[in-house]
Amino acid sequence: MKKYAALYIRVSTDAQFEEGYSVDAQKDMLEGYCRSRGWKDYRFYIDGGFTGSNIDRPRMQRLIEDVRAGEIAQVVVYKLDRLSRSQKDTLYLIEDVFNPAGVGFTSMNENLDTGTPMGRAMLGIMSAFAQLERETIRERTRMGMRERVRGGLWMGGGRPPFGYDYDSASGRLIPNADAATVRLIYRLYLQGLSAARIAQMTGFHDDKPVRDILTRKSYTGVIEYNGAEYAGKHEAIIDRALFDRVQEAMKRRSAARSFSSGHLLTGLVYCGRCGARMRYQKWGDKGYKLTCYSQQSSKKYLIRDENCDNPKVWADEAEAAVIGDFLSRALKADESDMPAPESNEAPLEAKIQETQRRIKRLYALYAAAEDELLAESIDEQKRLLETLRRQAGDEAAQNRQAQARKTRRERYRHLAEAWEDMTDDEKRSVAQELIERVEIDGDAITVRYRL
């Protein structure tokens, strides 16, 4: 069988049109090399637009097949990294594919010829440098991405978050028409709808995209990268307070789903006489009754009063009473019940900034003339600053709690009209989120809400 030289050419998408790397440029140099050796029998193997990080390329695979079929005498490339940028792959091709078949390998740029002892010795060194170059490029890319996000810019590449477009000129995310859908998803979730129901309403195939949207901090104006958060320069679609309320709601619903019984009030019902928890107990074919754990000897650690005589009540009647109570509250809920909380955060922040400026001025005076009175004034202002910051933190926490209460009250107004359309799981989620506990004492049922 007459053998021929295989002239392999690879161009990546990034280097395809660079001088010295284009297909035509490599063809000219490889043909010139063949003419200088007097070789007339050669074939081109060209992979256009393929990375050199692996050998999973169509013409490379064909080249390997032809080598093993005994059709090739020599493989020639313009530069070693045209074969592969991976040291492991390069050595595999030379040691496990070319050499066993008696095929020589030549790289023009490095003057490398495995037909000579020096060429074989240089092979490992050159392959190592090709691997080093690839890893260096990768590290520089990662560093570039880190610097971009630290500067508040989107890392570039990939798909931007739903609700944003990527502006390559500025490097920023720009809200688009889908931003309104993002806000709707957050609002519907806080109204008690499940991610699956929201997906149906907003046109998603399943609930995964909805859950991704509900947990992506990018919508609050930050950029997440490698577990860290950076202040982004893009416009926020939702505020951080809304995002945090949704995360809290998701945790509560997740905790609610951990109950296996699937009953509406599981984990919420307490005995109004002894304070012990109450459980759902199967009562023949008639349904379930709610029973005080103090009357159950199977779990002694839950007993509060062995002599508790609170009668058992039918669960469906208790559930109906609770539903009726909070739906009636929902119908009565009004904006007048939700006064906007007065916030002292702004005045406190102003005092903090003024105190910081005062400390800077005192330090400047102290630097000019070290004086004991100035040192005492600096310490006094530092203590004041610490107190103001603590007060600001407490005020912020109180405001968050007030806002959370306001949100729950707002949800009440939607419950009456939405309740009948909710699934059982959605009703349980609403109950777990809005109700703190239900106390039952005989026929008397008291519902305590998270307001």
Active site residues: 12
Cα pseudo-dihedral 65, 67, 71, 72, rounded to 10: 140
- Report CA 13 to chain centroid distance, whole Å: 29
Collapse the DSSP code of 433 into the 3-class scheme (helix H, G, I; strand E, B; otherwise coil) and give the result.
helix
Collapse the DSSP code of 197 into the 3-class scheme (helix H, G, I; strand E, B; otherwise coil) and give the result.
helix
Side chain identity, residue 75: V
Side chain identity, residue 449: Y
Of 107, 385, 437, nearest in space to 276 by CA: 437
Cα pseudo-dihedral 423, 425, 427, 432, rounded to 10: -170
In 42-178, at which residue ranges do the beta strands (DSSP E only) sit?
42-48, 72-77, 104-107, 112-113, 164-167, 172-175
Q: CA-CA distances (angstroms) from residue 28 to 6, 110, 384?
A: 14, 17, 78
Burial of 92 from C-beta contacts in 10 A (0-12 / 13-18 / 19+): middle
Query: Which stretches within 258-314 are classed as H helix?
Result: none
Of 111, 137, 121, nearest in space to 52 by CA: 137
Q: Which residues pair with 314 in a beta bridge?
A: 289
Collapse the DSSP code of 202 into the 3-class scheme (helix H, G, I; strand E, B; otherwise coil) and give the result.
helix
Q: Which residues pair with 224 in a beta bridge?
A: 229
Neighbours of 69 (CB within 10 A): 10
Of 139, 123, 134, nearest in space to 52 by CA: 134
Instruction: Tell how strand 435-441 and strand 228-231 pair up.
Output: unpaired
Mention every residue, 6+ apart, whose C-beta is less than 8 A from residue 151.
233
Side chain identity, residue 39: W
In 227-312, at which residue ranges do the beta strands (DSSP E only) sit?
228-231, 269-271, 278-282, 288-292
